[in-house]
Amino acid sequence: MNVMASQPSKTDSVVGAQGLGKTFGGGAVVALEDASFDIRPGSFVSLVGPSGCGKSTLLRLIAGLIERTSGNLQVHGKEVTDPRTDVGMMFQKATLLDWRTAVENVLLPTEVSRAVTKEDQKNAAELLRMVGLKDFLFAFPSQLSGGMQQRVALARLLQTGADVLLLDEPFGALDEFTRERLNVELMRIVKEVQATTLFVTHNIAEAIFLADQVFVMTPRPGRIAKIVDVPFDRPRPLSIQTSPEFNTLVAEVRDILGEDH
């Protein structure tokens, strides 16, 4: 292992990457190239960029779902090889199990690692209350709206107890109002549980609004074109989006992305 590259990860980075790359089809498709970054504990990182720029690929690499083809990647200073319990992932679709009630869906991660206790059940119920579903503990997925299903998926993600949360366009399929409300809640919740969060979105304003750092990515080949720091404190009010500083950041990101956005 490259000693110099892994050095910073030992100190203050939760997720660290050095020259990370992923190709598909024996090198025919470069999904991600030469990504290097260090993510501080408890920080919120947004990944923004056009379709095909490797956002999902980066997340799936960190989750240990796919193997990298070059470079290094550590979570909590340990090389990523397999899916692990300190990293949790949430997808664009809720991917709930139809035959389980909301609580049982939230309990799935616990069930997979050990026997479920009364405490776990209470914790799951508490998480569902936290995402605003206290009256739907025993509802089945088909009885919930899209937004509610996504909240259950969020509760399930939190139930994993992971302190690195990966969210791949989690609210992308929802309407504008629901999405905005869920974004505000998400910001509050991840602050509360002190998780390090990577959040994928197509929306520049959303990316900036939520994050401490924005990874601006460009396609063909997929790479991180720039890491933009967002200087506001979290959580923030929605009204910050109309401030001039905010709009300068939006313009900056849009500039990097070029005519695609």
Interface residues with other proteins (CB under 8 A) are 25, 28-30, 52, 63-65, 82-85, 87-89, 91, 93, 95, 97-99, 101, 103-104, 108-109, 111-113, 121-122, 124-126, 137-140, 142-143, 160, 219-221
Q: Which of 92, 65, 90, 91 is nearest to 80 (CA)?
A: 65
Closest by CA to 228, choosing from 254, 203, 261, is 254
> What does the H/E/C string look like for 201-220?
ECCHHHHHHHCCEEEEEECC
46 binds ligand ATP (CB under 6 A): no
Contact range with Mg ion by CB under 5 A, out of 1-9, 22-30, 51-59, 145-153: 51-59
What 8-state DSSP symbol labels residue 25? T
CB atoms within 10 A of CB 36: 14
State which of positions 163-222 bind ligand ATP (CB under 6 A): 222
Phi, psi of 197 (to 5 degrees): -125, 135
Element (H, E) at 39: strand 29-39
Residue 54 touches ligand ATP, criterion: CB under 6 A = yes
Q: Which of ligand ATP, Mg ion, other proteins, none does residue 54 bind (CB under 5 to 8 Å by kind)?
A: ligand ATP
Least distance (Å) between residue 157 CB and other proteins: 10
Out of 45, 53, 133, 158, the only residue in the binding site for ligand ATP (CB under 6 A) is 53
Q: Residue 144 CB, nearest distance to other proteins (Å)? A: 11
Residue 30 has φ and ψ, to the nearest 5°, of: -90, 100
Q: Which is closer to other proteins, CB of 10 or CB of 220? A: 220
Q: Is 99 or 177 the residue whose CB approaches other proteins more closely?
A: 99
Query: Measured from the CB of residue 8, what is the shortest distance to other proteins in angstroms?
Result: 26
C-alpha span between 131 and 203 (Å, rounded): 23
Q: By the 8 A CB rule, do 20 and 71 touch? A: yes
Binding-site size for ligand ATP (CB under 6 A) equals 12
Nearer to ligand ATP, 25 or 237 (CB): 25
Binding flags for ligand ATP, 212-241, as an x/- string (CB under 6 A): ----------x-------------------
Q: Which of these ranges, 45-53, 125-133, 178-186, 230-238, lies near ligand ATP under the rule CB under 6 A?
A: 45-53
Judged by CB under 5 A, which of 13, 18, 43, 56 binds Mg ion? 56
56 lies in the binding site for ligand ATP (CB under 6 A) = yes
Q: DSSP states of 97-165 as a string?
A: -TTS-HHHHHHHHHHHHS---HHHHHHHHHHHHHTT-TT-TT--GGGS-HHHHHHHHHHHHHHTT-SEE
3-state SS class at 15: strand
Report the SS3 class of residue 227.
strand
Positions that interact with Mg ion (CB under 5 A): 56
Positions that interact with ligand ATP (CB under 6 A): 24-25, 29, 31, 51-57, 222
